[in-house]
Amino acid sequence: MEILTVGYLLRRTADKAPANEVVGSRKRIPYADFDRRANQLAHTLISWGVGKGDPVALLMPNIPELGESIFGITRCGAVCLPLNYRLKTHELIYILQHSGSKVIIYEQGFSDPINLLKGQTGLEKFIRIGGSGQDPEYESLLNHAPETYPSLEVGENDPAALLYTSGTTGRPKGVILTQRNVLWSCVSQAIEYRVTSRDKILIAPPMFHVGAFFRFLSAVYLGNSVFLMDQFDPIRFLEIIHKNEITFTALVPTMFIMVDQLPEEVKRSYKTTSVTKYITSGSILPVDLVRRIQKLFPNAEIRDSYGATECNFVTILQPQDLIRKLGSIGKANVNSEVKILNDQGEEVGPGIVGEICVRSPQVLKEYYKDPEATREAYKYGWFHIGDMGKTDDEGFIYIVDRKKDMIISGGENIYPREIEELLYTHEKIVETAVIGVPDPLWGESVRAIIVTKPGEKLTAEEVIQFCARQLAGYKKPKSVIFVDSLPKNPSNKILKRILKEQYGKS
């Protein structure tokens, strides 16, 4: 019997849906050819001495070769490491040195950063996709490699992927996901997102991000035709939906807002009624944003998902609950358990704040080269995500805040997310973040950092009074700073670490 691995996942799809395609901006590849090319890459890597457990780095946008590389790498027992191509050189150097990668596959548009990386990391071999240069070229290597499935033993507990966290609170950590972790995530997505083999899927966010990474793998698992955007452009996004009758897509709120801000006459010129499934994740989802998504995709069921690099998504808010339970992250997915635990590892009751903890076959095997962080994350037999949350009487889960972002003022615990959610309801505020700053009397006090809508004026006193009318006195901001923009990582998460460095002094 064939062991269920990432490599077999594609092999199975190539047999069942050989004509369905992986479509990029410059080429479209039927699964039968996609499968063959993944084999050729696997044999190339084996001939170069790449073996079980070896990380192979990937530096490229969403192109079909990225998908081929994921499957080719895992078929020879190695570990795929998709790099965030928006990182600075020194950040890439850290990840490559930490991972111990010896081989990297890159798209020719990244030749300049690759040249900067040479000699500064442990990289020894380079494969170039397209263009010209001294490094061996991808297509040429594939053309000289066998097309057969590699005869290597790969087990379900062997590592398949090494993904690095976004590092919002410090150095990014390497997350080891096994073959089993990946497959269970694909199964969970297929069930909870209600995807079938007939769906046409558009992946717009970059696949170095865990959500897009698994949406691609889940699409291959089901044999969907999948369309990849190598660079996000709101008009191009609508064009692909219109031309190909896309049925399923997902955007983080920032990307959706870019689409929604297009002129109405532009949006009306594209047909979006084919979209029947839409996923959002990554940040607060105000009711106004839900209404705008519904307007753009009138036939779509909208779902909000929550998770982390360490486990993909673990909760889901289904369409029938989206408005009724707005602000909730829903309930655990079909293959996960989620509980709210206190510092003693005991489950707390409804309305009581604790840490969101998970047990699931999707959860990481370990943090790479960091046994202490692994032990800390797995206290009491549960994986601790690091977010504080609570449940309501129906068991729906609500994020209160990141554990590390909690503010303690005068002995009271204050969760910035609660204040941020209120500030997002203000008609003049487009973006906000709340941090704690040292206070000689209270220990810490609340500071709101705000981006106003273009052309709008707002004073600190107006913000403080707005909060004072709806929050307990100790929760209202004591100070307000107005800025043009908030620092974000490539996944569009606000970097509170940087905000604390810039604005965290008393």
Q: Given a cut of 80, is residue 32 above it in pLDDT?
A: yes
From CA 404, how far away is CA 134, in angstroms rounded?
46
Residue 377 lies in a domain: no
229, 263, 297 - which closes a domain? 229
pLDDT on residue 47 = 96
Q: For residue 99, is pLDDT > 80?
A: yes
Q: What percent of the chain has pLDDT over 70?
A: 96
Asked if the structure places residue 289 within a domain, the reply is: no
Measured CA to CA, the distance from residue 325 to residue 346 in angstroms comes to 25
pLDDT of residue 286: 74
Question: Does a structural domain hold residue 328?
Answer: no
By three-state DSSP, how is residue 505 classified?
Answer: coil
Q: Strand 301-308 and strand 312-317: pairing? A: antiparallel
Whether 170 shows a pLDDT value over 60: the answer reads no
Q: Tell me the CB-side half-sphere exposure of residue 189, using CA atoms within 13 A.
A: 33
- Sorting pLDDT into bands at 50, 70 and 90, what band is 3? low
Domain end position, chosen among 194, 229, 264: 229
Q: Would you state the torsion angle of the CA atoms of residues 342, 346, 347, 350, taken in this order, to the nearest 10 degrees? A: -50
pLDDT digits (tens, 9 = 90+) for 320-372: 999 999 889 999 999 999 999 998 999 999 999 999 999 999 999 999 999 99
Given a contact cutoff of 8 angstroms between Cβ atoms, the answer to whether 263 and 291 are in contact is: no
∠ Cα 429 431 434 (to 5°) = 105
Range of 19's domain? 1-179+205-229
If pLDDT is split at 50, 70 and 90, which confidence band does 458 have? very high
User: The CATH number of the domain where 126 resides is what?
Assistant: 3.40.50.12780
Give the C-alpha distances (Å, rounded to integers) separating 15 from 11, 30, 36, 236, 371: 7, 11, 11, 32, 40
- Helices 31-47 and 6-16 sit at what angle, rounded to 10 degrees? 150
* Predicted local distance difference test score (pLDDT) of residue 1: 42
Q: What is the mean pLDDT of residues 33-56?
A: 97
In a domain, 303, yes or no: no
Q: Is residue 395 within 8 Å of residue 331, measured between CB atoms?
A: yes
Q: Is residue 301 part of a domain?
A: no
Domain CATH code at residue 429: 3.30.300.30
Q: Summarize the confidence of residues 396-422 as an average pLDDT.
A: 80
Tokens 């006090």 correspond to 445
pLDDT digit string (tens) for 229-252?
Answer: 999 999 999 999 999 999 999 998
Q: Is residue 351 part of a domain?
A: no
Q: Give the pLDDT confidence score for residue 167 in this predicted structure.
A: 58
Banded model confidence at residue 158, pLDDT cuts 50, 70, 90: very high
491: pLDDT strictly greater than 70: no
Q: CA angle 7-209-91, nearest 5°?
A: 110
Give the count of domains, the chain: 2
Mean pLDDT score, 49-77: 97
Residue 302 lies in a domain: no
Q: Would residue 199 count as lying in a domain?
A: no
